[in-house]
Copies of this chain bind each other. A is one copy, B any other.
């Protein structure tokens, strides 16, 4: 039987929403207080869902020690207690660190190393979900 396992992790980070391709007025209209030049921050939650058949010996679809390690290396270490605009590679340029772009980037990073780590073809990265707050949440899947 196929299962869908979700692991959830928290990290605290700061960001500022500001698009260099828009005027100051457009930025304020679009992002409101999130456009504040000095930035602000959140206790983010990131949830990663993997899918696959259960191994009858281990009762697992994927080794959780390995999954935790990959997420720690690829996602938590570069984001935990960081300024996303200045320290997380994908957002140093013009890409705005909205929850939408952050979820997409987390999905992309994990996809990039997935096949190297989990060789078994049936084990898939199914979904990434980011909660900026409990009231603003973004999911990405393929």
A contact residues vs B (CB 8 Å cutoff): 1-10, 12-15, 17, 19, 21-22, 29-30, 32-34, 36, 38-43, 54, 56-61, 63-65, 80-83, 86-87, 95-101, 103-104, 107-108, 133-141
Contact = CB atoms under 8 A, between A and B. Distances in A.
A5 B130 CA distance: 10
Contacts of A40: 12-14, 41, 80-83
A103 B41 CA distance: 18
Nearest to A91: B59
A138 B2 CA distance: 10
Given A30-B63, A36-B87, 8 more contacts: A6-B137, A8-B136, A14-B39, A22-B58, A40-B41, A42-B42, A54-B100, A56-B95
A12 B138 contact: no
A66 to B, nearest CB: 10
A13 B103 CA distance: 21
